[in-house]
Amino acid sequence: MTTARSSLSILALALATGAQADEIRVLNWQGYGTDTSFASEAFQEATGHSVIHEYFNSEQEMLTKLRTNPGAYDVVMINAVFMPQAVREGLVTAIDTAEVPNYTGIPEGFAADPKLMIDGEVYGVPWTWGLTSFAINTSAIPEAPTSIQALWDPAHAGRVSIRDDALEAMQLAALATGQDINEIADLGAAEAKLAELLPQLRTFWSSENDWNQFMAAGELDIATYWSGSAARSAALGLPVEFVVPEEGAIGWLDSLAVPASSSHQEAALAFIDWMIDPAFYVQWDAEGAPASANADAAAALPEDAFNRRVLGDPEVAARVRFQGELSDETRETYLRIWQGLKAAQ
Amino acid sequence: MAEITATGDRRRLIAMLSPAYLWLTVAVFLPLSAMLFFSVLTALPQDGPDWSLTLQNYRLFLTDPVYATLLWKSLQLGLTVTVICILIGYPCALVLARTIRGRARETLFLLVILPFWSNSLVRIFSWAIVLRGNGVLELGLNAVLPFDVSLNLMFTTHAVVIGLVHSYLPYVILTSYLALQAIDDDIIDAARSIGAGTLTILWRLLLPLSLPGLLAGAVLVFVPVVGSFMEPRILGGRMGTYYGTVIEDQFVAVYNWPLGAALSFILLAVVLLILTLTSPILRKARL
Amino acid sequence: MRRPLLPVLGRLWLALILVFLYAPIMVMAAMSFNASPFYQLPFSFSTRWYAEMAGNPQIITAALRSVSIALVVTLIATALGTAASIALFRYDFRGKKVLQLLLFPPIAIPWLITGTAMLIFFFAIGLGRGTPAVIIGHVALALPYVIVTVTARLSSFDITLEEAARSMGAGGWTVLRRVTLPWIAPGMVAGALFAFAVSFDQFVVSYFLSQPGDSTLPVLIYTAIRKGFTPEINAISTIIITVSMAIMFIATRYSRFGGER
pLDDT per residue over A69-113, tens digit each? 988 999 999 999 999 999 999 999 999 999 999 999 888 888 888
B23 touches chain A (CB under 8 A): no
- pLDDT: which is higher, B282 or A221: A221
- What's the pLDDT tens digit per position in B172-210? 998 899 889 888 888 888 988 988 888 888 888 899 989
B136 touches chain A (CB under 8 A): no
Q: Under an 8 A CB cutoff, do C137 and B27 touch?
A: yes
Number of residues that make up chain C: 261
Q: Under an 8 A CB cutoff, do C84 and B136 touch?
A: no
Pairing of β A125-137 and β A117-118 = unpaired
Number of residues that make up chain B: 287
How far is Cα C52 from Cα C207, in angstroms, rounded to an integer?
Answer: 25
Give the nearest partner residue to A213 out of C223, C226, C228, using CB atoms: C228
How far is Cα A152 from Cα A142, in angstroms, rounded to an integer?
Answer: 17
**Does domain C57-255 fall into CATH 1.10.3720.10?**
yes
- What's the pLDDT tens digit per position in A274-292? 999 999 998 898 888 888 8
What pLDDT does residue A246 have? 92
Asked if residue B134 has pLDDT above 70, the reply is no
Beta-bridged to residue A243, according to DSSP, are A134
Residue B213 belongs to some domain of the structure: yes
Output the tens digit of pLDDT for each of chain C's 261 residues: 445 555 688 889 999 999 999 999 998 899 899 888 777 777 889 999 999 888 888 889 999 999 999 999 999 999 999 999 999 988 888 888 899 888 888 888 999 999 999 999 999 998 989 999 999 999 999 999 899 889 888 888 888 888 888 888 888 788 888 888 888 888 898 889 889 988 998 999 999 999 887 889 999 999 888 877 788 888 998 988 888 888 878 877 766 544 433
- Judging contacts by C-beta atoms under 8 Å, the chain C residues touching residue B234 are 225-226
Mean pLDDT of the region A124-140: 93
How far is Cα B31 from Cα C121, in angstroms, rounded to an integer?
Answer: 5
Mean pLDDT of the region B151-166: 90
What pLDDT does residue C168 have? 86
Reported as a pLDDT band with limits 50, 70 and 90, residue A1 is: very low
The amino acid that residue A7 corresponds to is: S
Please report, for chain C, the start and end positions of each structural domain, with discontinuous segments joined by +: 57-255
Asked if residue B1 has pLDDT above 70, the reply is no
**Measured between alpha carbons, how far is residue B282 from residues B213, B215, C150 in Å?**
8, 8, 21
CB A159 within 8 A of CB A204: no
What pLDDT does residue C7 have? 64
Q: Please give the interface size between A and B, counted as residue pairs whose CB atoms are below 8 Å apart.
A: 57
What pLDDT does residue A43 have? 92
- What's the pLDDT tens digit per position in A47-56? 999 998 888 8
- pLDDT: which is higher, B8 or A219: A219
- Judging contacts by C-beta atoms under 8 Å, the chain A residues touching residue C226 are 57, 206-207, 210
Write phi, then psi, for B2 (nearest 5 degrees): -110, 135
**Measured between alpha carbons, how far is residue A149 from residues A170, A174, A320, C1 in Å?**
15, 12, 17, 73
What pLDDT does residue B285 have? 64
Beta-bridged to residue C207, according to DSSP, are none
What count of other Cβ atoms lies within 10 Å of the Cβ of residue B273? 10
List of chains touching B (3+ CB pairs within 8 A): A, C
Pairing of β A240-243 and β A125-137 = antiparallel
What count of other Cβ atoms lies within 10 Å of the Cβ of residue A225? 25
Nearest to A74 by CA among A24, A125, A17, A40: A24
Nearest to A79 by CA among A148, A24, A27: A27
Reported as a pLDDT band with limits 50, 70 and 90, residue B232 is: very high
Best of C8, C11, C17, C226 to substitute, by most chain B Cβ atoms within 10 angstroms, is C17
Residues 56-85 of B with CB under 8 A from C: none
Reported as a pLDDT band with limits 50, 70 and 90, residue A197 is: very high
How far is Cα C198 from Cα A121, in angstroms, rounded to an integer?
Answer: 50
Question: Looking at chain C, which residue has its C-alpha nearest residue A214?
Answer: C228
CATH architecture of A22-129+252-316: 3-Layer(aba) Sandwich (3.40)
Q: Under an 8 A CB cutoff, do C110 and B224 touch?
A: yes
Residue B91 belongs to some domain of the structure: yes
How far is Cα A26 from Cα C83, in angstroms, rounded to an integer?
Answer: 46
**Measured between alpha carbons, how far is residue A247 from residues A181, A269, A291 in Å?**
11, 39, 21
Mean pLDDT of the region A202-226: 88
Write phi, then psi, for A159 (nearest 5 degrees): -130, 30
**Mean of all residue pLDDT scores within chain B:** 87
How far is Cα B131 from Cα B240, in angstroms, rounded to an integer?
Answer: 15
Nearest to A169 by CA among A137, A153, A145, A193: A193
Nearest to A38 by CA among A257, A238, A282, A237: A282
Pairing of β A291-292 and β A249-257 = unpaired
CB A244 within 8 A of CB A131: yes
Could you give the 3-state DSSP secondary structure of residue C157?
A: coil
> Regarding the domain with residue range A130-251+320-343, which homologous superfamily does it belong to in the CATH classification?
Periplasmic binding protein-like II (3.40.190.10)
B63/chain C closest Cα distance in angstroms: 23
Please state the domain count of chain B.
Answer: 1
Best of B254, B256, B257, B259 to substitute, by most chain A Cβ atoms within 10 angstroms, is B254
Listed in order, strand segments (DSSP E) in C91-167 are 91-92
Q: What is the CATH number of the domain that holds B153?
A: 1.10.3720.10
CB C118 within 8 A of CB B26: no
Q: Which residues contact A45 (CB under 8 A, 6 or more apart)?
A: none
**Measured between alpha carbons, how far is residue C228 from residues A200, A289, C55 in Å?**
21, 20, 20
State the span(s) of chain A assigned CATH 3.40.190.10.
Answer: 22-129+252-316, 130-251+320-343
Please state whether the peptide bond connecting residue C24 to the residue before it is cis, i.e. omega within 30 degrees of 0.
Answer: no
Pairing of β A160-163 and β A320-322 = unpaired
How far is Cα A147 from Cα B15, in angstroms, rounded to an integer?
Answer: 74
Could you give the 3-state DSSP secondary structure of residue C211?
A: coil
Reported as a pLDDT band with limits 50, 70 and 90, residue B76 is: very high
Give the nearest partner residue to A64 out of B64, B241, B255, using CB atoms: B255
B208 touches chain C (CB under 8 A): no
What pLDDT does residue C246 have? 86
How far is Cα B219 from Cα C108, in angstroms, rounded to an integer?
Answer: 9
Asked if residue A265 has pLDDT above 60, the reply is yes
Longest dimension (CA), chain C: 74
In eight-state DSSP terms, residue C103 is: T
- pLDDT: which is higher, B177 or B139: B177
- What's the pLDDT tens digit per position in A16-37? 444 567 889 999 998 888 988 8
Give the nearest partner residue to C28 out of B34, B126, B139, using CB atoms: B126
B47/chain A closest Cα distance in angstroms: 9
Q: What is the pTM of this model?
A: 0.88
- Judging contacts by C-beta atoms under 8 Å, the chain B residues touching residue A169 are none
The per-residue b/e assignment along C64-97, b for 16 or more CB within 10 angstroms, e otherwise, is ebbbebbebbbebbbebbbbbbbbbbbbeeeeee
How far is Cα A162 from Cα A176, in angstroms, rounded to an integer?
Answer: 14
Residue B279 belongs to some domain of the structure: yes
- Judging contacts by C-beta atoms under 8 Å, the chain B residues touching residue C218 are 119, 121-122
Listed in order, strand segments (DSSP E) in B189-245 are none
**Measured between alpha carbons, how far is residue A48 from residues A3, A33, A68, A144, B124 in Å?**
21, 19, 29, 47, 41
Residue B95 belongs to some domain of the structure: yes
Q: In three state form, how does the secondary structure of chain A look?
A: CHHHHHHHHHHHHHHHHCCCCCEEEEEECCCCCCCCHHHHHHHHHHHCCEEEEEECCCHHHHHHHHHHCCCCCCEEEEEHHHHHHHHHCCCECCCCHHHCHHHHHCCHHHHCCCCCEECCEECCEEEEEEEEEEEEECCCCCCCCCCHHHHHCHHHCCCEEEECCHHHHHHHHHHHCCCECCECCCHHHHHHHHHHHHHHEEEEECCHHHHHHHHHCCCCCEEEEEHHHHHHHHHCCCCEEEECCCCCEEEEEEEEECECCCCCHHHHHHHHHHHCCHHHHHHHHHHCCCEECCHHHHHCCCCCCHHHHCCCCHHHHCCEEECCCCCHHHHHHHHHHHHHHHHCC
Q: Under an 8 A CB cutoff, do B253 and A201 touch?
A: no
What pLDDT does residue C6 have? 53
Could you give the 3-state DSSP secondary structure of residue C229?
A: coil
Tell me how far the alpha carbon of residue A123 is from its chain's centroid: 16
What pLDDT does residue A124 have? 94
Mean pLDDT of the region A199-220: 87
Asked if residue A11 has pLDDT above 70, the reply is no
- Judging contacts by C-beta atoms under 8 Å, the chain C residues touching residue A212 are 228
Provide the residue range defining the domain that includes B154: 66-284
